[in-house]
Amino acid sequence: MPVIEPASRYTELRRQEAASPKVLFAVDASCAPGSPAHELAGLTAVAADAVEAGSGHVLGTSHVTFPNGAITLVLILAESHLSIHTWPEENMVAIDLFSCGKIDGALVIERLVRGLRLESVAISELQRGVPVSRLPAGARRARSSMAGWLRSTRSPSAPRDRRPGAP
């Protein structure tokens, strides 16, 4: 289990991070045979080790194990959070790392990919916390109106989720 540190130790760190770049890393992958991704203790150990390797600090953990063996694991970090979701019936893993400050998010992801023995890895990196005025015009329009975004997702021409039971 990871060493849980009190958040009060990171007051100054959080002040410094307020002005730092914020990045969301999103990973979709499948698991190689023998991956520890579908076993809570192994998944937690690999995740905590990856955060430590990237100079992050674990403040807390939470998890849910579902009847089919799927796991949702969240590590609350001084530098934000890491969530890992598994679907054993689909041999799929989805990872989201929201990072700010001095944590090396790319190294955390690299260690997770290696430690969880992931295959067919797709990684997206998205800058977050960017002032709307500094975004390109199209992105500015999209971010400036949640109502407009909702309308666009509900329009008849918008692509629809065709899975059974999907709205």
Q: State how beta strands 58-65 and 22-31 pair.
A: unpaired
Q: For the chain, what's the residue count? A: 167
Q: Give me the DSSP letters along 56-113.
A: --EEEEEEEE-TTS-EEEEEEETTEEEEEEEEGGGTEEEEEEEEETT--HHHHHHHHH
Amino acid at 125: E
d(C-alpha 66, C-alpha 136), whole Å: 41
**Does the annotation count 57 as an active-site position?**
no
The active-site residue, picked from 30, 80, 83, 99, is 80
φ/ψ bin of 140: left (φ > 0), alpha (ψ from -120 to 50), beta (otherwise): alpha
**Does the annotation count 85 as an active-site position?**
yes
**Does the annotation count 31 as an active-site position?**
no
The active-site residue, picked from 20, 30, 83, 85, is 85
**Contact partners, residue 1, CB within 8 Å, separation at least 6:** 44, 45, 48, 61
The active-site residue, picked from 100, 124, 144, 157, is 100
The catalytic site residues sit at 80, 85, 100
